Amino acid sequence: MKVYDDSKLKEVVSRRMAFFKWKPEAAFYEFALHEGITVNSLSVEVEGRLDLRGLFMVEDSVPAGFSDISYSFNINSPDEEEKVKALAEKVVAHCPVVDSLKRPLSLTGNINITREE
């Protein structure tokens, strides 16, 4: 069995995952403008749980991906709470990232290796 430092792995994963951050804020502002909703400020926090043993190939039986993902919209708006919440739900429902995570899809790719001569 391989031994690993969980705190160091979490730090590395945290830095790497920043590249894959879901950014629905732009869509939210666009939908809000279209629907006449005022947004003073908006932030979205996304968290995921994953077992680092799978990511770093420590344990073959552990999946490398997330076991769950959650999000939290933090919205400041003078408009009715129900209207703003409905808008946030619409943004989530029409998000291509969320849609892709919720359903099976095809994944293809290439690995190209070159060597300098």
Residues 56-77: pLDDT tens digits? 999 999 999 888 888 899 999 9
Cα→Cα distances 49→8, 22, 31, 89, Å: 16, 15, 30, 22
* 23 Cβ contact partners less than 8 Å away, ≥ 6 residues apart: 44
Residue 19 pLDDT exceeds 50: no
pLDDT, tens digit, 9 for 90 and up, residues 75-93:
999 999 999 999 999 999 9
* DSSP for residue 49: E
Could you give the CA distance from residue 11 to residue 9 in angstroms, rounded to a whole number? Answer: 5
Whether the model pTM is above 0.75? no
Mean pLDDT across the stretch 18-45?
82
6-102: CATH topology is: GMP Synthetase; Chain A, domain 3 (3.30.300)
